[in-house]
Structure 1
Amino acid sequence: MKRTAQSIRDAYLNFFTQRGHVVVPSAPLVPENDATTLFISSGMQPLLQYFLGTPHPLGTRVVNSQKCLRSQDIEEVGDNRHTTFFEMLGNWSFGDYFKTEQIEWVFTFLTKDLKLDPSRLFVTVFAGSDELGIDRDETAIKEWQKQFKQVGIAATVAVDPSKTGMGEHRIGVYLWKNWWSRVGEPSTMPAQEPGGPDSEVFYDFGPERKLHEQSQFKDLPCHLNCDCGRYMEICNSVFMQYLKQDDGSFVELPKKNVDFGGGLERILAAVDDEPDVFRSLIFAPIIAQLEELSGTTYDASDKHRKAFRVIADHTRAAVMLLADGVRPSNKDQGYVARRLIRRAVRFAHQLGIERAFLAEASQSVIELYETQYPEVRQHQSEIEATLTQEESRFRRTLDKGELQLSKLLSEKSKGAHSGITAEDAFYLYESFGFPVELTQEMVAESFPDDKVVGSAQFMEQFQQLRKQHALSSRSASAGQFKGGLQHASEQTTRFHTATHLLHASLRKTLGTHVQQKGSHITDQRLRFDYTQPEAPDDATIQTILDQINQWVADDLPVVREEMSKETALSQGALAFFVEKYPDQVSVYTIGRDPKNDWISKELCGGPHVEHTGEIGKLVVEKEQSIGAGIRRIYLRFVE
């Protein structure tokens, strides 16, 4: 009988709470006050400050299941293992236990609690670098060998598995594939940056399935990092062990940390001994729904399987984004949400689903996650309305694309040939979101003898145009990133404290009905979304700004305290995203007010300035409506 995601999640959290860990809630998918990334894409991302020295209020051992989304994987979805949204099971040690305990616990959890066959488990370790003076991770090797020996397995080491294959070996040694830092390989790490080796666990789906022999890699040695599908990485332990020095050398950290991440969907696939993650109970309800809507089956063809996978993944990801407050748009997180929805509709078209279906399909996702993430049920009506509206708009877009293609065909076709080029297909795709697959289908229907549009060369040209466009887009993004948080921590810290003052001034001037609905900070400005039914006039906005600048001029103290969430709320601290905070919280209090005793008191992870005078004078850049009852205000520093 197949396991449910909830049973795996509960087993993992229980396993580590029995070993002294405290469960922390999942952070929202959109990182708070972090302009360097669109989404939370790993379990450790919301905890980064605790790896860099800030004590965690709940102690040195924590565990959770974190919602994650990797938008860069959108184009990869369609195979049997890639998803955009996923859950990352994670446990962390902040200067507490290290390799011996972690490896023993991982092996015990996988083989005893989840009852995975240990003969199906393989691991990787760091190869070491003579150039950097970092030894091979012998501690990890010996600990893995000890664990395997206890179940009667000799875990020998494959020194260069990418060239020789795994053979009879159990442990694969790799170089930079088994090194972790925030910025990648040691050569790219700045001085005083922590990093260290990691050790992955792979599940072997077995030689009998002939996954390697049937793959494009069949002529190469099969090893743990081969993409043939035989071996699937299910979890990884990062051992933050070293600190890079100014001269480029590495020394051991006095306090070493552990960061474990295990993809819930992949662990479930291993438990089911099923290489296709979309056959798990996570996706079964929505796949069944799609089969009913389309009148076809998941296994009808490879093309059908891909379409089912894309629709199921993108629907789930869109629901989770909408539940966390993201709305479809043409920028940032909103663009990703819109792209997910449109790709789902596009592939539904391939399956013959011609009516609106996303709101209906979202029910399966909501029912699956409402226990772990109650916000999906709480925002159900908004999710359904947004999906319906966005799907309706895109279906009209599809209609426009078809009309444009018809015009092109009437202008360019000659005899048996359509005259449609890859440039035409890219124009339709970029301008109208019209899928190249639909272009090919329509051409094939009208011009069955046209062999150009359906050719591999046509698709190569189309993909090349897309790559060129993507490269130019990434270049622009990289330039934007350079000016962001990474190189401007002082600026963003000042803006972060200014956000609290802005919130306080809005509530003081407009009323306590004002609630924060979102914020975004770069080194150039802060953006703050808040509840307000009517637009404040210019005089009111000036009053709000004058109050903020007065508090800045007063050079008020900013005090951080640790207390229970219950105590903080009873003292009047504001927390409009209560579900994301643990039971023990950080509270920042700003200044003193004759009537209220303080200007601002909010639950917050920081960082903040120590006195408001460090912020500097601010000016309102603009203020606008972004939806019914929600307004947005931008502030920047006076130049």
Structure 2
Amino acid sequence: NAPRDEVSAGFWKDVGVPDDRIAYLPAKDNWWAAGPVGPCGPDSEIFYWVGKNLPPAGSNKGSDPDNWMEIWNNVFMEYNRVDEKTLVRLPAQNVDTGMGLERTVTVLNGFTSVYQTEIFQPVIKAFEAVSGYIYGNNEAKDTSVRIIADHVRAATFIIGDPQGVSPGNVGAGYVLRRLIRRAVRHGKKLGVDGLFLTKPALVVIERFGKAYPELLVNRERIITELEREEAKFLETLQKGEHEFEKMLPNLLRNPQKIMSGRLAFKLYDTYGFPIELTLELAAENGMTVNREEFGEAFRKHQELSRAGAEGTFKGGLADQSEATTRYHTSTHLLHKALRMVLGDHVAQKGSNITAERLRFDFSHPAPMTPEEVKRVEDIVNEQIRRNLPVSMVVMPLEQAKADGAMALFGEKYESMVKVYTIGDFSKEVCGGPHVEHTGVLGRFVIQKEQSSSAGVRRIRAVLQ
């Protein structure tokens, strides 16, 4: 129920843009919203001609969409969407603007796609070498190649980040898993058998490593995580197909030939089997899938995922009693000891602290050996015996990071943060509370080390 955005059109005309270069597109193109409800408004997009020669008179994104590439967008946040029929004006309005840097590089080089630039071409060449398919010969296959190149690059950066996540079923790990598995699925569509993701990933590391040295530092972790997830997914595909075959006799008895969304989601959630493959297998057997029912189950899964992400980094304290405060300080000692024994890839993924014990989740690709567990335990107890002082200062977040303080990936910090330092041993951004000296903690004992999720381990420990 918002009016057509004549205001933006008027400004474009005022600066000399001719009428036939201005296209009024439908809401699906010229309206941005954060979701079904919330801030939203019209957007004014800037396009660059990528067709041959000069654009003819009357050519614009509306009349000639294939020859115009969007390079910039301005979203005018004017409204709050209360429901699907009601918009109210926001009391504080703003402009959200952004330029596509890679698209700008594309047009400056006279290309029509970012995949023609030096950003993606080496990655595509690496995939050509393992697949035998030469990019540019078939549009449908080219789409798969572009998806692989984009997703492998994204996955490489996500895993290679200093606080990088591992593939999992919730939160950021779930996003990473979807990227990797979609790339694998498109590789299979192009006839690639076996593992292949590491080849283009190594090119990403080599090409971007100078600007992003963390990729070089975490090279082994990137390769290990990609290979593990790719192998796991290939096994998943086999299991999913087997489970579908087991379901098939009962499904074929349904006269409507409709597979329930509940069963499709079970294949997806339990076995990681993509809905797209379920649709293909169903179609091959003369059936359809109840997508609406699947979508409802998927939305519930997303809500649980978001809820889990929001609750991951809240300190994990049941209360702020003397006992939980002691355990909280112990997690800082444990975090640093784990990094000393296992490597700098270790990052806290969550904690849960009660008056009786601590539970600490951290990134690590494999079970700890008994020797590693013992070394971590000994290091923590050594710092307790040293009776190190615990101090706190408030400083800007960027200064804290520059001073070497560890901060939790994904946590939303204020501009000024508390930094707790434990003697010469540990420094972390943290809200507290903590003991004043480590000597009051007692003896630290690791009771169990186990898997929490893919790429995440869990330690349970007590103070005696």
TM-score range, shorter chain: 0.5 to 0.7
2:236 to 397, 421, 436: 397
Counterpart CA distance in 2 for 1:385 and 1:160 is: 49
Task: Tell me the distance in 1 between the aligned counterparts of 2:225 and 2:309.
Answer: 30
- In the TM superposition, residue 351 of structure 1 has moved relative to its aligned partner by 0.7
Deviation at residue 373 of structure 1 after TM alignment: 1.0
Matches within 5 A, 1:43-62: none
Which amino acid in the other structure matches residue 518 of structure 1?
A
Is 1:185 matched up with 2:39?
yes
TM-score where L is the length of structure 1: 0.47
Alignment of 1:362-377 (within 5 A): 362-377=201-216
Q: Give 2:347's aligned amino acid.
A: G
Find the aligned partners of 2:418 and 2:458 in 1 and give their Cα distance: 25
The residue that corresponds to 1:471 in the other structure is: 299
> For 1:281, what is the secondary structure of its paired residue?
coil
1:404-443 aligned at under 5 Å gives the runs: 404-408=243-247, 421-423=258-260, 428-435=267-274, 438=277
The separation in 1 between residues aligned to 2:445 and 2:64, in whole angstroms, is 52
Query: Is the counterpart of residue 296 in structure 1 residue 124 in structure 2?
Result: no
Q: Tell me the SS of whatever aligns to 2:123.
A: helix
SS of match in other structure, 1:373 = coil
CA deviations on 1:561-585 (whole Å, 9 max, x unpaired) are 579979976xxx65699xxxxxxx9
Structure 2 CA distance for aligned equivalents of residues 566 and 475 of structure 1: 33
Give the residue type in structure 2 aligned to 1:204.
Y
Alignment CA distance shift 1:536-1:238 (3 Å): farther
1:205 paired with 2:205, answer no
1:625 Cα deviation (Å)?
4.7
State whether structure 2 residue 367 is matched by structure 1 residue 529. no
Q: Please tell me whether the aligned partners of residues 74 and 98 of structure 2 are also in contact (alpha carbons under 8 angstroms).
A: yes
Q: What letter is aligned with 1:329?
A: G
Offset at residue 306 of structure 1 (A): 2.6
Check the 8 A contact 1:504/1:600 in 2, yes or no: no
* Structure 2 counterpart of 1:558: 392
Query: Which amino acid letter does the alignment assign opposite residue 270 of structure 1?
Result: V
Residue 298 to residue 467, structure 1, CA distance change in 2 (3 Å): farther
SS of residue in 2 equivalent to 1:352: coil
CA distance in structure 1 between the partners assigned to 2:213 and 2:18 by the alignment: 44
1:29-428 aligned at under 5 Å gives the runs: 153-154=16-17, 161-162=24-25, 177=32, 184-185=38-39, 202-205=46-49, 231-236=68-73, 250=91, 261-324=98-161, 325-408=164-247, 421-423=258-260, 428=267
- 5+ residue gaps, structure 1, are 1-125, 129-135, 167-173, 187-196, 212-220, 242-247, 578-584, 592-597
- Deviation string for 1:197-241 (max 9, x for gaps)? 9986522336879x9xxxxxxxxx955xx9956654434578999
Distance 1:145 1:362 in 2: 46
Residue 364 of structure 1 aligns to a residue whose secondary structure is helix
Structure 1 counterpart of 2:301, one-letter code: S
| Alpha-carbon distance in 2 for matches of 1:407, 1:560 | 60
Which amino acid in the other structure matches residue 185 of structure 1? P
Shift of 1:350: 1.0
**Are positions 1:588 and 2:416 aligned together?**
no
- Secondary structure of the corresponding residue to residue 234 of structure 1: strand
Q: Distance in 2 between matches of 1:468 and 1:155?
A: 46
Question: Equivalent residue for 2:84?
Answer: none
User: Which sections of structure 2, spanning at least 5 residues, go unmatched?
Assistant: 79-88, 409-415
Structure 1 residue 624 corresponds to structure 2 residue 453: no
Q: Give, in angstroms, the shift of residue 127 of structure 1.
A: 6.1
Distance 2:240 2:361 in 1: 37
The answer to whether the 8 A contact 2:123-2:200 is kept is yes
Segment of structure 1 superposing worse, 362-371 or 498-507: 498-507
Output the amino acid matched with 2:46: F
Matches within 5 A, 1:14-33: none
Deviations 1:316-361 (A, max 9, x none): 2222122123222333333332332222222111111113211222
1 CA distance for matches of 2:338 and 2:144? 50
CA distance in structure 2 between the partners assigned to 1:530 and 1:302 by the alignment:
40
1:499 Cα offset (Å): 10
Asked if the contact 1:266–1:277 (Cα under 8 Å) also holds between the matched residues in 2, the reply is yes
Whole-angstrom distance in 2 between the partners of 1:632 and 1:590? 24
Q: 1:287–1:298: 8 Å Cα contact kept in structure 2?
A: yes
Task: Find the aligned partners of 2:401 and 2:376 in 1 and give their Cα distance.
Answer: 38
What SS class does the counterpart of residue 133 from structure 2 fall into?
Answer: coil
Larger RCO of the pair (alpha carbons < 8 Å, separation 6+)? 1
Distance 2:317 2:96 in 1: 29
Equivalent residue runs for 1:498-577 within 5 Å: 501-502=329-330, 505-506=333-334, 517-520=346-349, 527=360, 529=362, 534-535=372-373, 558-561=392-395
> C-alpha deviations, 1:451-471, integer Å up to 9, x for none?
x34xxxx2xx35334312212
In structure 2, how many angstroms separate the alpha carbons of the residues matched to 1:395 and 1:508?
Answer: 36
CA–CA separation in structure 2 for the residues paired with 1:435 and 1:442 = 11
Report the CA distance shift for 1:285/1:500 in structure 2 as closer, same or farther (over 3 A). Answer: farther
Alpha-carbon distance change, 206 to 413 in structure 1, aligned in 2, over 3 angstroms: same
For normalisation by structure 2, the TM-score amounts to 0.62
RMSD: 6.1
Which residue identity lines up with residue 468 of structure 1 in the other structure?
E
> For each residue in 1:230-271, what CA deviation from the matched residue of structure 2 results, as whole angstroms up to 9, or x when unmatched?
654434578999xxxxxx98479xxxx998643333323333
Identical-residue share of aligned pairs (%): 26
Contact 1:504 1:599 in 2 (8 A): no
The SS at the match of 1:185 is: strand
SS at match of 1:395: helix
Alpha-carbon shift at residue 312 of structure 1 (Å): 1.7
- Taking the aligned partners of 2:272 and 2:97, their CA distance within structure 1 comes to 39
Q: Which amino acid aligns with 1:323?
A: G
In 2, Cα distance between equivalents of 1:381 and 1:332: 23
- SS at 2:373's partner residue? coil
The one-letter amino acid paired with 1:393 is: K
Distance 1:634 1:302, change over 3 A: farther
Q: Distance between the aligned counterparts of 1:340 and 1:159, measured in 2?
A: 36
Whether contact under 8 Å (2:349, 2:361) holds in the other structure is yes
The verdict on how the C-alpha distance between 1:438 and 1:626 changes in structure 2, with shifts beyond 3 A counting, is closer
Q: Is the 8 A contact 1:509 1:543 kept in 2?
A: no
